[in-house]
Amino acid sequence: MLVLPKGVRHIPGFLDRSRQEALVEAVRHVVAEAPLYVPEMPKTGKPMSVRMTNCGALGWVTDRELGYRYQPEHPVSGRPWPPMPDILIDIWRAVSGSDKTPEACLINFYSAEARMGLHQDRDERDLETAVVSISLGDSCLFRVGGRSRGAQTVSFRLESGDVVVLGGEGRLAFHGVDRIYPNTSTLLKNGGRLNLTLRRVNL
C-alpha cells in the first residue's frame, strides 16, 4: 500500500464527469479573458514547460526580472484576473478545512511533454492554510515528499477528477509532476492536462 506523507491527502475521483465538464467550461471562460502565457524561471529566464494563467483576486506569476510572486493582474495583458468561479469555491469549502476564501487559483496547462520539477509552494504569506489541487484531463505521475528536498518521495498517478490537499504538515511538502500520460482522458478535446491550485495568499 502506498503511504503518503503526513498531511498529504489524495482524493481519487472527487469530481464526477459532469462536474469535471463544468469545471473545464469555467476554465475556458477564464482563459478567454486571461490567456495562457509561458512563464519564465527567475534569473535565467528559462521558459517553463507548462503554460499558465490564474483567476481570483491574485495570481501566481514568474519571470526573469521579478521572479516568483503574486500580483492582481495578468503579466501580459495587464488586466485584472477573472473572478474565481463558484464551482472552485465549492470545492475549496468541501476539502480545504479553512473558513477563509481562496484568493488565488493558478491554472497550469501541461502538454504531453510538460513537467514540473520538485518544489515547495511557499510564495504565500499564509503557509498554514492548505493548498488544494485539482486534476483534469490526461493523467500524470505526481511525486510528493517531505519538507526537505532530500527526503524520501512517493509517486502515484493523478487522474482526471482527483483532488490533492497539502495541509498541516504536508503544506510545505516538496512535490512535482514527473510526466504526463498522453491520451489517457477524453475530457479535453485536444488532450493535455489541466491542474488548478487554490490557495490562500495573505494572512
- Tell me the per-residue interface mask from 106 to 145 with ligand AKG, x by CB under 6 A, - otherwise: x-x-------x----x-----------x--------x---
Nearest residue to 31 via CA among 64, 88, 74: 74
Q: Verify binding: residue 96, ligand AKG, rule CB under 6 A.
A: no
Distance (Å, whole) CA 78 – CA 34: 10
Q: With respect to Fe ion, which residue has the nearer C-beta, 121 or 124?
A: 121
- Tell me the per-residue interface mask from 3 to 42 with ligand AKG, x by CB under 6 A, - otherwise: ----------------------------------------
Task: For the CB of residue 177, give the shortest distance to ligand AKG in the complex, in Å.
Answer: 5
> Where does this chain touch Fe ion (CB under 5 A) — which range of 10-18, 37-45, 103-111, 121-129?
121-129
Residues annotated in a binding site for 2-oxoglutarate? 108-110, 193-199
Distance (Å, whole) CA 40 – CA 162: 28
Distance (Å, whole) CA 98 – CA 80: 25
Q: Verify binding: residue 121, Fe ion, rule CB under 5 A.
A: yes
Query: How many residues in the shown chain lie near Fe ion by CB under 5 A?
Result: 1
Residues annotated in a binding site? 60, 68-70, 108-110, 119, 121, 123, 149, 175, 193-199
Task: For the CB of residue 155, give the shortest distance to ligand AKG in the complex, in Å.
Answer: 12
Per CB under 6 A, the list member of 54, 153, 185, 197 interacting with ligand AKG is 197
Instruction: Give the CA angle between residues 66, 70, 74 to the nearest 5°.
Output: 85
Distance (Å, whole) CA 137 – CA 157: 12
Read off φ and ψ for residue 115, nearest 5 degrees. -145, 175
Distance (Å, whole) CA 49 – CA 38: 8
Distance (Å, whole) CA 170 – CA 154: 13
Cell numbers of 93, please? 469549502
Provide the binding-site residues for ligand AKG, judged by CB under 6 A. Answer: 106, 108, 116, 121, 133, 142, 175, 177, 195, 197
